């Protein structure tokens, strides 16, 4: 009976699969903002056939006038001080819906990234001077599709679950010990 139990546990452990995190790119091209240009980035850590938060939303490139305020990229918007929204739906490897919003008030700098909030996708930034002269921003209307979210060309590799290997090895060692004690 013990042998059957040990084999069953070992079989269950071996059937475990690695966790897989999916990654997507986004592109926001200005149609409504006061800067010409494009914002590009990545949405990382989504799970297929679920709705949930992204592990990271990275802003990788943006117009030079924004870079002069916030510095060079990439910027992890999930690390911004104020997180408003972070929810994406992935169905069969395609992001079908989502909203992200976060902003970061810092001394002398304010930056914000919004994907599909109120029908807009925007990155805006300003230093102290902008409170008088206005924000520098790239913006587009058109809802969720305006963020042009696509699967990454090189998929994010599967993340192995270290406990699976440890459990399997422990099970095999226990099984060998059990078999040796019967001999």
Collect all residues with Cβ–Cβ distance below 8 Å to 148 and sequence separation of at least 6.
26, 27, 28, 29
Q: What is residue 1's predicted lDDT score, i.e. its pLDDT? A: 60
Mean pLDDT on 165-183: 67
More confident of the two residues 171 and 111: 111
**More confident call, 38 vs 1:** 38
Which pLDDT tens digit goes with each residue over 58-105?
A: 989 888 877 777 778 888 889 888 888 999 999 999 999 888 888 877
**3-class SS at 158?**
coil
Residue 91 confidence (pLDDT):
94
Question: For 127-150, how does the pLDDT look when each residue is reduced to its tens digit (9 = 90+)?
Answer: 555 555 566 667 777 777 777 888
In the predicted model, is pLDDT for residue 175 greater than 60?
yes
Residue pLDDT, tens place only, 39-62: 888 999 999 999 999 999 998 988
* Bridge partners, 102 (sequence order): 83, 113
Say yes or no to pLDDT of 180 above 70: yes
Quick one: pLDDT at residue 181? Answer: 72
The reported pLDDT for the residue numbered 24 is 94
User: What's residue 48's pLDDT?
Assistant: 93
Residue in 64, 61, 21 with CA at minimum distance from that of residue 43? 21
Nearest to 115 by CA among 40, 21, 182, 7: 40
pTM: 0.67
Query: How many residues does this entry show for the chain?
Result: 183
Residue 61: predicted pLDDT = 86
- Chain mean pLDDT for the chain: 75
Summarised one tens digit per residue, pLDDT across range 159-168 is 555 566 666 6
Tell me how far apart the alpha carbons of residues 76 and 80 are, in angstroms, rounded to a whole number.
7
């Amino acid at each position: 009976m013990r042998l059957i139990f040990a084999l069953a546990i070992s079989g269950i452990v071996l059937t475990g699969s690695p966790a897989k995190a999916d990654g997507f790119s986004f592109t926001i091209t200005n149609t409504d903002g006061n800067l010409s240009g494009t914002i590009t980035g990545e949405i990382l850590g989504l799970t297929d056939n679920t709705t949930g938060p992204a592990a990271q939303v990275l802003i990788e490139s943006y117009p030079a006038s924004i870079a002069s305020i916030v510095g060079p990229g990439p910027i992890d918007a999930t690390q911004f001080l104020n997180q408003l929204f972070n929810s994406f739906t992935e169905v069969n490897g395609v992001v079908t819906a989502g909203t992200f919003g976060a902003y970061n008030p810092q001394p002398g700098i304010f930056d914000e990234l919004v994907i599909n909030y109120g029908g807009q996708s925007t990155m805006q930034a300003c230093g102290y001077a902008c409170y008088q002269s206005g924000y520098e921003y790239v913006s587009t209307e058109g809802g969720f599709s305006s963020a042009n979210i696509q699967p990454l060309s090189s998929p994010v590799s599967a993340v192995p679950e270290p406990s699976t290997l440890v459990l399997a090895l422990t099970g095999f060692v226990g099984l060998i010990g059990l078999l040796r004690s019967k001999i």
